[in-house]
Amino acid sequence: MDYTFTPLAEIAPKVAAARTAFAAGTTRPQLWRRATLERLRDLVEEREEKLLDAFAADFGKPRFEAWTSEIGYIVSEINHALAHLSTWMQPERVATPLAFKPGTSHVVREPVGVACVIAPWNYPVQLLLAPMIAAIAAGNAVVGKPSELAPHAAAEAAALIEAIGDPAVCVVQGGVAETSELLTQRFDHILYTGNSRVARIVMRAAAENLTPVTLELGGKSPALVSRHANVQIAARRIAWGKFMNAGQTCIAPDYVLVERSVHDELVAAIGTHVEEFYGADPQVSGDYARIVNEPHFHRLEKLIHSGTVVIGGTTDADTRYIAPTVLTGITADDPVMGEEIFGPILPIIAVDSMNDAIEFVQQRADEGDKPLALYTFSDSDDENDQVIAGTTSGGVCVNGTLLHFSNPNLPFGGVGESGMGSYHGKFGFDTFSHRRGVHARSTRMDPALMYPPYTSRKQKLVRKGMSLLDPRDVGAKLRGALRGK
Ligand code: NAD
């Protein structure tokens, strides 16, 4: 495998070359944005087999999962950006209050400059390229840094980016030393995906240059299951979302809160679906991933000792295998509830009511642990609405898991400890754009009202004028009144 870290001395020149390209205006035209995105898409499609081999070599990522969550996802994100780019780039006309007429107002989205994208290992190419796609679509130069913990995927991703052959889109390879060096450079936006400890390092470094950051972090994402849920479907969707990529998914359901009366049915159904997915022995299934490295394997192995193992529980250190595992009899104080699990271990906690479940989640949020995702399972819309209204999280999927991530029309991002800012589709374009407010005045007239000397008559008129609403505001006020707000 050809995997070498970028020499420290080469990092500053790479960023400088990206800045030179941006300053020369290379990246601004729509033509460049389109051509670069199309080239990237072609390269991903051409190198599909190599990429799938790399994911398998790093941690046994099943090819089907790797194709859907990496290749297919990246291609559809590029296609979505290409389909909407012209519209996104249009100045957005907004209302101008009557007092400031005659005149017009627009929001113009302009590229911020040179962006930096730092990615983790669990979806190593998708989480590198998807933010880079957004940065390119928004007309920026961009430097990507894949995770050294998925070295095969990092090498393939780097080769792919280098094949674009454009200094405005470049890659730095490495670990802590290289990323630290990268972070001493001046960027105009940094998007970091990974754990919240390193996020604090990134944010501190960004503060030196007042660089805005988007932080895509993790946390404990709960799944709440009501006695009014379709328990069989809930079990299947929770098992799928949890055990995909062997639980190494930022939005995997971390733990389940289930109403006591359906607890046993849910546990049994998860067992049935795990067997349906991976057979009687998941260790020989080609559809089940491995843990990324030994430290994570040993960390996870210790978490199995909470509560009672009712499904799985077997491990194999040599192949870093941990069976899809379900634990019951868990309390909030067990070690498995003390950190993001990020592996194939699912604690299930019985609660007396959905209100208790909401309180459980919200108490953790009040203590600082706002989840990245939240899953609510009920056939009652009112009940799902109550869960959404009574909790907070980066995103929500009702009666499902993971899939809110893949809708490009939804923002993806965390809140509080699970992150700040968002991307995907237009939200990514906006993240890497500066929204510039432009108000254009007419010169057909120039009333003296605003200008000194300030007379009491002028003051009266200005007070009156500034309280007048734009016709669009009047419309909004009426619509609000009709809705009873
Ligand atoms: P990781 O160890 O690969 O680290 C992420 C990046 O930070 C890497 O590129 C790494 O080189 C860099 N890094 C590590 N230490 C550093 C340091 N001291 N200084 C500067 N850079 C450093 O990945 P991870 O952090 O283990 O990722 C797992 C976490 O990421 C989980 O918490 C997961 O929930 C979260 N995650 C979030 C999302 C999301 O979209 N919100 C997606 C995937 C993972």
Domains of the chain are 8-217+424-434 (3.40.605.10), 222-413 (3.40.309.10), 447-482 (no CATH)
* pLDDT at residue 483, rounded to an integer: 85
Ligand 1 pocket mutation, candidates 5, 182, 217, criterion most atoms within 8 A of CB: 217
Give the ligand 1 atom nearest the CA of 120: 3
pLDDT of residue 484: 74
The Cβ of residue 43 has, within 10 Å, a number of other Cβ atoms equal to: 18
Sequence-separated (6 or more) residues with CB below 8 Å from residue 176: none
Calculate Rg over the CA atoms of the chain: 26
pLDDT at site 485: 57
Residue 268 tokens, joined: 């049994």
Which entry of 250, 340, 397, 417 is annotated as an active-site residue? 250
- Catalytic residue, chosen from 216, 259, 383, 417, is 216
Ligand 1 center–CA 194 separation, angstroms: 3
**How far does residue 73's CA lie from ligand 1's centre (Å)?**
20
Strands (E), 113-198: 114-118, 141-145, 169-171, 189-193
Tokens of 20: 């030179």
Q: Which atom of ligand 1 is nearest to the CA of 394?
A: 41
Q: What is the 3-state secondary structure (H, E, C) of 184-232?
A: CCCCCEEEEECCHHHHHHHHHHHHHCCCCEEEECCCCCEEEECCCCCHH
Q: Which residues sit with their C-beta closer than 6 Å to ligand 1?
A: 118-122, 127, 145, 147-149, 175-176, 179-180, 193-195, 198, 201, 216-218, 250, 340, 342, 372, 414, 419
Predicted pLDDT of residue 247: 98
C-beta atoms surrounding 358 within 10 Å:
21
Residue 216 annotated in active site: yes
Residue 250 a catalytic site member: yes
Strand order in the sheet with 345-351: 308-311, 325-328, 345-351, 255-259, 222-225, 373-377, 395-398
Ligand 1 centroid to residue 196 C-alpha, Å: 8
Mean pLDDT (10-residue bins), the chain, 485 residues:
89 98 98 98 98 97 97 98 98 91 95 98 98 98 98 97 98 98 98 98 98 98 98 98 98 98 98 98 97 98 96 98 98 95 98 98 96 98 98 98 97 98 98 98 90 94 81 81 78
pTM score over 0.75: yes
The tokens describing 143, both together, are 């430097």
Closest C-alpha to ligand 1, atom 43: 250
Sign of CA dihedral 332, 336, 338, 342: negative
Find the 174 Cα to ligand 1 centroid distance in Å.
Answer: 13
For residue 262 the two structure tokens come to 């359906």
Amino acid in the structure at residue 244: M
pLDDT at 407: 96
- The reported pLDDT for the residue numbered 97 is 87
* Helix or strand run (H / E) with residue 389: helix 381-390
Distance 370 CA to ligand 1 centre (A): 18
| Residue 25 neighbours by CB under 8 Å, 6+ apart | none
